[in-house]
Amino acid sequence: MTAAAPIDDKLAELVEEFDLLGDWEGRIEYVIDLGKGLAPLADSDRTEANKVPGCAAQVWLAVRREGDRLVFVADSDSALSKGNIALLLRLYSGQTPAEILAFDARAALDRLGLPSALTRQRANGLNSMVGRIRDAAAQ
C-alpha cells in the first residue's frame, strides 16, 4: 500500500477547491457532491456501534486498520451529512493515528469556511464526526 498524501496537503487541495467555489452555497453544493462519491457502506457496518452520536441525521463511521494506517468508511441518510463525512474521510482516511491526532480539525474546517455555512446542529454533527475519528486514532 502506498502512503497517503500528508493530511496538510489534502487540506491545501480542499482549500484551493473551496476558494474557487466562492460563496457558501457553492461550497455546500460541492460538499453534497463529495458525498455522492462515497462508496456504498456494507450493511455489516451499519451498526449501532458505528453510529456517530450528536448528528442531526444518521451517520455511520467504521474504521479499519491497514498496517499502521487507519482507513475509514462511512455513510449517512442525509445528503449534507454524507458530504461532510466524505470531506472528513478525504482528509483522514489512510493517515496514521499520530497524524490524525496532530491535525487541528477545527482550524482546518474554519479555513474551509464550513462551520459558518452550517446550522448549529449540523456544525455540532460535524464536530461529532471529527471526535469519532480522533477517538479511533487514540485507541
Give me the active site residues, please.
55
For residues 88 and 130, the answer to whether their CB atoms sit within 8 Å is yes
Strands 69-76 and 59-66 turn out to be antiparallel
**Could you tell me if 29 and 79 are in contact, meaning their C-beta atoms sit under 8 angstroms apart?**
no
Which three cell numbers mark 112? 474551509
Do residues 74 and 118 touch, judged by C-beta distance below 8 A? no
For 48, residues 6+ apart whose C-beta sits below 8 A from its C-beta are none
Distance CA 12, CA 15 (A): 5
